[in-house]
Amino acid sequence: MEFSELIKTAKVENVLLSGPGVPAVKGTLCITSHHLLLSSQPGGDGEQGTVELWLLIRNVDAVEKRFASSSGTITLKCKDLRVLQLEIPGMEECLNIASSIEALSSVESVMMMYPFFYRPHSMKLEQGWHLYLPHHYYQQVVAETSAWRLSSVNRDFATCPTYPSAIIVPAVVDDEALRKIAHFRQGGRFPVLSYYHKKNQTAGTGEGLDQPSCPSISAPQVMLRSGQPLMGPNKKRCQEDELLLKAALCGRARGFVIDTRSAQAAKQARMTGGGSEPKAAYLGWKRLHRPLESRGRPLQESFMKLVEACNDPSLGMDRWLSKLESSKWLSHVKAALSTACLAAQCMEREEACILVHGAEGTDTTLLVTALAQVILDPDCRTLVGFQHLLEREWIQAGHPFHLRCAHSAYSHARLKQEAPVFLLFLDCVGQLGRQFPFSLEFSERLLLALFENSYASAYGTFLCNSEKERSLCKVKETTHSLWSWLNQPNQQKEYLNPLYSYNALVIWPSVEPQSLQLWQGLFLQWIRSSQYLDEAWAEIQRLVEGSETPTRTNGAAHSQLLLPH
């Protein structure tokens, strides 16, 4: 397939672009394989035409057309929630443009996407891809305890197609057993270590040296994740699986299985071959059910309803609140945060082990394990640590980004597997940031950038559904990593929270409705002006930085002193 086949009209003059909050501009519209460009006509005084719009076509979620006599208006509803209007003279041009955008934005093949073509001068390929290998994290864990080992059972993605090649499991379970367990867990997702919780990190570091592999009380807690056990209606059991979980307890009296489905749903899953760990078979493990919406319609529809409410200017105060309520988005935020807090609390306060799973173990499971780590672990709250976490607990852990983020809130296409699980995670992190304004090293801007890039990106980081697919598509060899871009010094600065200071504590959020807020920076980003809030942010930066770097007079004095005597 050639892109040029999809582009019916590549260039139209005198197109009027308008969008919320910006004055309308007229210019020349161009369509390239991946971008929509609009450059304004040069002004009368010899002014250069400027590019007013540079839109990744992949970012277009829905295209709507409207015609009036000889011209047509195309409304572009973008995945980043922006809504743009193009008034195009000429019916035919308008139709052509619309169908070109439609065709280009719905190209299915991963290999045809922009990241495979994007070649910025300032960056080298393969640069960021080795920054955050989960491997490194697992090696750290293994270095600290002999109870866990790195396994290469999934080297060629044969045991579990959605796991990365490096995984970490209890040392006593050999690869053969893992293969058996993989058959007993949905998607082959046998229980693996997700997080190793070192309590009292600041108290003593030397203690671990002379301790045996399974120390008693002060042993670090672990969090595992997996797919559901394939018990089926006959309550099948798997000895190796039971052994693995027993070994994970590390001699501790108890562990908790946090099932992100209701007890009812877990029971029903047996009819289709799934299920949840029975108490009798897994001694010491207790099941907790916390139903979270993730798969399929409810969460996606919640997202769509919320965005619709935000975009509806006709709502009165009362109707706005009831629309907000009926979208249920904040209820999902509350449920996700509560469940993550429960997991964190089980580890931190009950000193128990945790196993998290839902059905597949690729959605709500990751939502809970990743959020719990942000709550528990100060390292995950740094800019770099957060990227580590995303790589380990979302990307490498096999969250199917390609499927989940195929469409955003506006698409009229029939829903397939879309669900804003990752967005929900970012929203929850944002809630933590609001409640603990000094404790996250990164700012809301990073979360926004991650949201945008997860839906449409110039980088390969969020492409595909698993490591296996990425390796087949040679994503690492032929696309740039988002991380290498984010970590350029000038970019980094953009995403840092000026108020950050390291906080070794667990950050327990409030999940009361009074404490949870609509994420205005995202949902209202294109609707309300943020000028005054941006000014406030700049003022905060000015204040904090003014106190950190020497002031101008100070700087002068400084340079004076540097002069040789």
Partner 1 sequence: MEHIRTPKVENVRFIDRISSRKAALGTLYLTATHVIFVENVSETRKETWILHSQISSIEKQATTATGCPLLIRCKNFQIIQLIIPQERDCHDVYISLIRLTRPVKYEELYCFSFNPKLDKEEREQGWKLVDLNEEYNRMGIPNNYWQISDVNREYGVCDSYPTEVYVPRSATAHIIVGSSKFRSRRRFPALSYYCKDNHASICRSSQPLSGFSARCLEDEQMLQAIRKANPGSDFIYVVDTRPKLNAMANRAAGKGYENEDNYSNIKFQFIGIENIHVMRNSLQKMLEVCELRSPSISDFLWGLENSGWLKHIKAIMDAGIFIAKAVAEEGVSVLVHCSDGWDRTAQVCSVASLLLDPYYRTLKGFMVLIEKDWVSFGHKFNHRYGNLDGDPKEISPVIDQFIECVWQLMEQFPCAFEFNERFLIHIQHHIYSCQFGNFLCNSQKERRELKIQERTYSLWAHLWKNRVDYMNPLYRADHGQTQGTLHPQTAPCNFLYKFWSGMYNRFEKGMHPRQSVIDYLMAVKEETQQLEEELEVLEERLSNLKKVQVNNNKVKNMQQDRNKALRLSASNNSIANTPQEYSNNLKSFPSRSPSQGDEEDSALILTQDNLKSSDPDLSATSDQESGVEDLNCRSPSGGCLPSEDSGKDPDSDEAVFLTA
Q: Which of 106, 338, 471, 478 binds partner 1 (CB under 8 A)?
A: 338
Beta bridge partners of 286: 256
Contact call for residue 553 and partner 1 (CB under 8 A)? yes
Contact call for residue 268 and partner 1 (CB under 8 A)? no
In whole angstroms, the minimum distance from the beta carbon of 282 to partner 1 comes to 16
Q: Whose Cβ is closer to partner 1: residue 71's or residue 331's?
A: 331
Q: Whose Cβ is closer to partner 1: residue 42's or residue 546's?
A: 546
Contact call for residue 560 and partner 1 (CB under 8 A)? yes
Non-local CB neighbours of 564 within 8 Å, separated by 6+ positions: none
Q: Taking the CB of residue 450, how many other CB atoms lie within 10 A of it?
A: 26
The answer for 192, left when phi > 0, alpha when psi is -120 to 50, beta otherwise, is beta
CA 465 from centre of chain: 13
Residues 339-358 that bind partner 1 (CB under 8 A): 339, 341-342, 344-346, 348-350
Report whether 286 contacts 257 (CB < 8 A): yes
Strands (E), 198-349: 221-225, 255-259, 285-289
Measured distance CA(143)–CA(145) in Å, rounded: 6
Contact call for residue 491 and partner 1 (CB under 8 A)? no
In whole angstroms, the minimum distance from the beta carbon of 86 to partner 1 comes to 22
Q: Whose Cβ is closer to partner 1: residue 121's or residue 565's?
A: 565
Contact call for residue 310 and partner 1 (CB under 8 A)? yes
In whole angstroms, the minimum distance from the beta carbon of 272 to partner 1 comes to 22
Q: Whose Cβ is closer to partner 1: residue 22's or residue 321's?
A: 321
Residues 459-478 that bind partner 1 (CB under 8 A): none
Residues 394-453 that bind partner 1 (CB under 8 A): 434-439
Give 467-526 as a 3 state SS string: HHHHHHCCHHHHCCCHHHHHCCHHHHHHHECCCCCCCCCCCCCCCCCCCCCCCHHHHCCC
Q: Which of 23, 501, 563, 564 binds partner 1 (CB under 8 A)?
A: 501
Task: Determine whether 7 is exposed, middle or buried from the number of CB atoms within 10 Å of its CB (0-12, 13-18, 19+).
Answer: buried
Contact call for residue 70 and partner 1 (CB under 8 A)? no
Q: Whose Cβ is closer to partner 1: residue 99's or residue 517's?
A: 517
Contact call for residue 527 and partner 1 (CB under 8 A)? yes
Strands (E), 22-124: 22-31, 35-40, 51-56, 60-68, 71-78, 83-89
- For CA atoms 484, 455, 364, 470, the dihedral sign is negative
Contact call for residue 6 and partner 1 (CB under 8 A)? no
Measured distance CA(161)–CA(398) in Å, rounded: 9
In this chain, which stretch among 28-36, 43-51, 295-303, 534-542 interacts with partner 1, using CB under 8 A?
Answer: 534-542
Q: Whose Cβ is closer to partner 1: residue 46's or residue 316's?
A: 316
In whole angstroms, the minimum distance from the beta carbon of 112 to partner 1 comes to 38
Q: Which of 50, 152, 200, 268 binds partner 1 (CB under 8 A)?
A: 200
Structure tokens of 133?
Answer: 């290998």
In this chain, which stretch among 38-46, 327-335, 356-364, 409-417 interacts with partner 1, using CB under 8 A?
Answer: 327-335
In whole angstroms, the minimum distance from the beta carbon of 419 to partner 1 comes to 19
Beta bridge partners of 30: 11, 37
24-63 footprint of partner 1 as x/- string (CB under 8 A): ----------------------------------------
Report whether 163 contacts 141 (CB < 8 A): no
Q: Whose Cβ is closer to partner 1: residue 483's or residue 523's?
A: 523
Amino acid at 458: A
Report whether 496 contacts 443 (CB < 8 A): yes
Residues 202-261 that bind partner 1 (CB under 8 A): 202-204
Number of residues in contact with partner 1, rule: CB under 8 A?
A: 85
